[in-house]
Structure 1
Amino acid sequence: MIHGMPRQNTRPTDFPPAVQQQIARLAECIVAARKALGETQAQWAARLGISQPTMARLERGDASVSAATYILCLSQLNPQLDLTVLLPRSTAPAAPAHPSAASAKTAATVAAPATPSAATGVDDFVSLLASWAPASV
């Protein structure tokens, strides 16, 4: 029988401080957006199909919550979520030939030339989150 490579798990406490800080800032933005919508953790968790304790962990910036759960939460705030805009231009997929009106801004962002910036990746990500108006979910 052929065995695959052993599974290697990185404990959240082993993540570099910069990664932990990004998760914490993301969590703060999610809390602010949820509160701006006037919803409780329980309401938000029910909508996402997760437990309220998991929602509380997510909002504390718990790095052991899966990336998929964070992305699911973000997609509730922005149904046109496209995290590829965070990738360097050379690695981002090409924009569709005929972007829809909903994705035109994202396509333009992906196609925009990269410019040097003093902002950190955290600041770029927070700016992206701030650009999403917490409209009706």
Structure 2
Amino acid sequence: MPRQNTRPTDFPPAVLQQIALLSERIVAARKALGETQAQWAARLGISQPTMARLERGDASVSAATYILCLSQLNPQLDLTVLLPRSAAPAAPVPAPAAKAAAPATDSGVDDFVSLLASWTPASV
């Protein structure tokens, strides 16, 4: 496994809290569906120990694995709604038919995006 540039312990506390909250909700959703970690891991193409780490909120699990898990819960997942409007492409991108017409305008999301934009990782 390649060495990470930033250790998970160097992430800002707000990011670690978001990962923990996300993990808790993934666990709740999986359990609500009556499925085991092993079943989910097999469906996602990851190992059961990786699924357990994801559900513990392990920040060293790749973002792609978290996104893969989220897309299992919501096939219409569109993380671009987390980006500030200034980062939007010049030409409008049509929204999928199943999506609501208006994007979410949660100030918590804006605060999180601002935090990530201003964060400078600790030197290694």
Unaligned 5+ segments in structure 1 are 97-105
User: Per the alignment, in what secondary structure is the counterpart of residue 111 of structure 1?
Assistant: coil
The change in CA–CA distance for 1:85 and 1:115 in structure 2 (over 3 A counts) is: closer
Question: In the superposition, relative to structure 1, how do residues 51 and 82 fare at CA in structure 2: closer, same or farther (>3 Å)?
Answer: same
| Aligned sequence identity (%) | 92
Asked if structure 2 preserves the Cα contact closer than 8 Å seen for 1:12 and 1:63, the reply is yes
Larger radius of gyration: 1
Which 4+ stretches in 1 moved above 3 angstroms? 5-8, 93-96, 106-117, 121-137
Measured against aligned partners, the alpha-carbon deviations of 1:2-42 in whole angstroms (never above 9, x if no partner) come to xxx99861000010100100000010110011011110000
Structure 1 residues 125 and 40: alpha-carbon distance in aligned structure 2, compared to 1, 3 A threshold? farther
**How many corresponding residue pairs?**
121
Q: State how far apart, in whole Å, the 1-side matches of 2:4 and 2:38 are.
A: 33
Q: Deviations over 1:42-92 (max 9, x none)?
A: 000000000000000000000000000000000101111100011112213
Q: Which runs of 5+ in 2 are unaligned?
A: none
TM-aligned CA distance change 1:8 to 1:116, over 3 Å: closer
2:84–2:113: 8 Å Cα contact kept in structure 1?
no
Q: Is the 8 A contact 1:89 1:113 kept in 2?
A: no
Aligned partners of 2:82 and 2:110 also within 8 Å: no
